Amino acid sequence: GFVLHEYTNLEMTGSLYELDDFGEAMHIKWKNLVLPAVVLGIRPLAVVIQLMRNSLLEVFNQDYIRTARAKGLSEFQIIKKHAIKNAMNPVVTAISGWFASMLAGA
């Protein structure tokens, strides 16, 4: 954030809320949430992507995927209707754990 400050125009210090010009009302300053959200989300995103890839590769070796290919379905239909639905189980489990730890830690 410090190195790219002049490009991103994000502030290094500040609060989530800011007062308006008259000092009467507080408004959320959304720009101060960008950097913390990116920092908290990069590592879990990488883990989730890797888990999704490994889960999809495991699902592609199943018998029902071979049956779908034998029926003549396109690869897009196989991925969309069969593979992703079955590959999402471990991914959703991992996301729920990461989400709970981020809420507790942040």
- Smallest Cα–Cα separation from 78: which of 89, 66, 94? 66
User: Cβ(33)–Cβ(16) under 8 Å?
Assistant: yes
Residue 106, pLDDT score: 66
Residue 103, pLDDT score: 79
Residues of the chain under the 70 pLDDT cut: 1, 106
Residue 84, pLDDT score: 92
Residue 98, pLDDT score: 81
Model confidence, pTM: 0.66
Dist. CA 11–CA 8, nearest whole Å: 9
